[in-house]
A and B are shown apart, each in its own frame.
Chain A
Amino acid sequence: MKVLALIYGAEGRWDSFTEEQRNEVYEQYRAFGRQAGDKISDGAELAGTRSATTVRVRDGETTVTDGPFAETKEALGGFYLLECKDLDEAAELAAQIPGAATGAIELRAAAQ
């Protein structure tokens, strides 16, 4: 089954990192990628929420606002699309995602 793993974290923490600290995190993610192998079918890092744009259409009128749709303490910073046999396997894998130790990983199964 396809499971979307949403990686949430405190943006301020990432913003405060030096390049060396960021490279360390990237290295942890690369290690996770090697370990998870073909269980990862897609994934990406998102640019900060400052570059987010939210679009709504009401009564034929389009409203475009800057920023994410909801202001949360921890923001979505990236995702993986996982291919797992069930949600339990996805949960085991998600615990290995570096962001699980500092933020949170939300797992969402694909629609049946």
Chain B
Amino acid sequence: MLQTSDVALAEPKNDGRREHYLGAFRSMLLARVFEEKLASLYRGGKVIGGVFLSKGQEALSASLAAALRKGDIYAPLIRDTAGRFAFGETLLDAARTCIGSRLGPMRGRDGNVHRGKPREGYYAMISHLGTMISTVAGGLIARRFRGVTGVVGATCIGEGGTSTGSFHEGMNMAAVEKLPLVVVVANNQYAYSTPTSRQYACADLVDRAIGYGVRGHKIDGTDPQVCFDVVGEAVARARAGEGPQMVVADLLRLVGHGEHDDAHYVNHALKVSPIGRDCLDVARAQITAAGWMNATQIDALRDQLQAEVESAFAVVLREPLPDPNLEDWCALSTKSLAEGNA
């Protein structure tokens, strides 16, 4: 179900192309420097728990959130630091969750990529893959009940996550309800260490779209301009009432599954293939070729973002950590129905 991109439908319009690109690029670059800092803190023992980076996936991730508007629903997954920033997450909230600050949205109760502010349309993923698809669909059903139109719900997953029953149930149900849902599949070639040959047997994951009755889009996830155009088009089609959209992007995870993983199993041939490109390098070339920024300006932007990241962590590393004596240890909002902790 391959479709060529229909640029006429894409958001933004051509006249806003530069602003849209550079806005998304800023989130991509911020994600990269944020994650480099996070990896450094991890190696220094300052991060509790896992660190999962998204190097190589920043363009795809940013492309989805950059196409969303206030009032839309966004449920990012593990490698969506860029999308999170593009959706409006602050550096402080991101850093706080990774360090476990009591002042962060997760308050030390959950960490790293499991963060969000659901009431603001920024859903907090659970680790069980595929579950967010039906959850975003539920958010959209609620909007439909309220008579709210013109909103989009969007979520991301990897090719490994497409093998779950939850993915299938969610896609099918969203299609039955014809919801304005966009699911972006980052086919980064490995689910932890498992190659695609052990993950699925279809010729291409995008072929599944026709089976669900949703529109499929296939893109090179290393090309930022293509990501912005086609993902933007998918979001616009969903917003226009055309039903669920599934975007499958080919790219390569340029890091381990987590920072504990040296990714020795990654096929060298993939690294030197076109999907092994670093999307930030491609973005740099596209930006300079378009004459939107020169190399010096991009370097200056990177330095500026680096400084913002350093300041955020400098603040967060001095913030109070969770305190078991201040914790209410109650999982219910209805305190009167809580059990004791015998």
A binds B: no
Interface residue ranges, A against B (CB under 8 Å) = none
